[in-house]
């Protein structure tokens, strides 16, 4: 079954009771048992819910995995991964990391004696230098948030496999339509389902996908024990959103390319970060492991002034100033004061998150309108 068919059909079936073509919203907390231990596959909705199960099966299929698990948010999914570790274990992650991931690593799990190393993952040697006997997980984002760096997943996985280290990849920006880390050797793929998979800015959810039986067993144990699950209504909305993922991603990619080239040629724009540009570091890696380059773009302004960035993000009309990304509507944000404010300024600057950096989530509107909106906003 090809990807465009999987998003519509994989893991979902017409309702056996009524023939409904859409998976029903099983808005129930518990399930009748014929006798003790005899039931129809569901006992309690924290442990399992038919609507959530359909979504988990669908996500596993489109990501090329065997098992899917959904959570109340992307951070809840990451939380479950780190709970697989124990005190004394060490994690290597990228120095260009989503602020929420950095926050949960440093303010929650470091207190439990799990050590985190943040390195520039553009060169695999930087990872190798930090590996020791306590290293149990390598956690990567690619493309990274917000610098759009491309990390060579296969090279990392080859290194990790030789050291018996687990690899997790945040695939939120690329989505399964553009990139499949499991096929490159990753053990776990994480999605902030809130973003492109839901696609309509109306759900908060996270997901993990794996093909490893033991990892899956542990993920489900933590999911059930910690209880950070998503509800059936949200599961239904994401199932609906995924049915158009391939169509939306095609337009996100088309619009993203045109916006990136527009910005690259604008006189007050300094640097554009979009993996489809030949000038982008690791562009060749992006070509090798992605089917397209997506609709996420970051750029800096000439002079690198905070006030200039504030003027631009406040002048757009179609690009709405807001947190998050991946919806059908275009969004604009200022990472250093919004999504990455929890990272100390000196660390942000080191990774490229300077004061004038602006991040775009390019939507699926008419490209002429989007470029005109940016052109007007850049007249400062």
Give me the active site residues, please. 46, 98, 170, 195
Query: Using DSSP, how many helices (H) and how many strands (E) does the chain show?
Result: 14, 12
CB 218 within 8 A of CB 168: no
Specify whether the backbone of 37 is left (phi greater than 0), alpha (psi in -120 to 50) or beta: left
Please identify which residue in the block is written with the tokens 């631009």: 312
What are the angstrom distances between the C-alpha of 186 and each of 5, 100, 189, 212? Answer: 24, 22, 7, 10
CB 127 within 8 A of CB 119: yes
- Cβ contacts of 302-307, under 8 Å, gap ≥ 24: 302/267, 302/268, 302/269, 302/270, 303/270, 303/356, 304/270, 304/354, 304/355, 304/356, 305/355, 305/356, 306/336, 306/355, 306/356
Buried (b) or exposed (e) across 203-233, using 16+ Cβ within 10 A?
bbbbbbbbbbeebbebbbebbeeeebbbbbe
């Amino acid at each position: 079954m090809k990807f465009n068919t999987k998003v519509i059909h994989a893991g979902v079936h017409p309702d056996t009771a009524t023939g409904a073509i859409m998976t029903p919203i099983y808005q129930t907390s518990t399930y009748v048992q014929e006798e003790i231990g005899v039931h129809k596959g569901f006992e309690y909705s924290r442990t399992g819910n038919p609507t959530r199960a359909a979504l988990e099966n669908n996500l596993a299929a489109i990501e090329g995995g065997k098992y899917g698990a959904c959570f109340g948010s992307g951070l809840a999914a990451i939380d479950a991964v780190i709970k697989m570790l124990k005190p004394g274990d060490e994690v290597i992650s990228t120095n260009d990391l989503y602020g929420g991931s950095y926050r949960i690593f440093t303010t929650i799990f470091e207190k439990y004696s799990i050590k985190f190393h943040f390195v520039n993952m553009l060169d695999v040697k930087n990872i190798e230098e930090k590996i020791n006997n306590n290293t149990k997980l390598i956690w990567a984002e690619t493309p990274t948030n917000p610098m759009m760096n491309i990390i060579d997943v296969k090279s990392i996985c080859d290194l990790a496999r030789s050291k018996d280290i687990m690899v997790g990849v945040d695939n939120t920006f690329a989505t399964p339509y553009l990139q499949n880390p499991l096929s490159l050797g990753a053990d776990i793929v994480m999605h902030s389902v809130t973003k492109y998979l839901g696609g309509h800015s109306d759900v908060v959810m996270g997901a993990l996908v794996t093909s490893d039986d033991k990892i899956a067993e542990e993920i489900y144990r933590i999911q059930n024990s910690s209880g950070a699950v998503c509800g059936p209504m949200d599961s239904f909305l994401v199932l609906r959103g995924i049915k158009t993922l391939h169509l939306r991603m095609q337009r996100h990619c088309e619009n993203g390319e045109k916006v990136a080239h527009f910005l690259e040629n604008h006189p007050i724009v300094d640097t554009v970060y979009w993996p489809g540009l030949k000038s982008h570091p690791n562009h060749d890696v992006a070509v090798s492991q992605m089917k397209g380059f997506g609709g996420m773009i970051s750029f800096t302004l000439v002079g690198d002034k905070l006030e200039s960035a504030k003027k631009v993000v406040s002048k757009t009309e179609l690009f709405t100033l807001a947190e998050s990304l991946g919806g059908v509507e275009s969004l604009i944000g200022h990472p250093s004061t919004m999504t990455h404010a929890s990272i100390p300024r000196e660390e942000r600057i080191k990774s490229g998150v300077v004061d004038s950096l602006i991040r775009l989530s390019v939507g699926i509107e008419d490209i002429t309108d989007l470029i005109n909106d940016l052109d007007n906003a850049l007249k400062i």
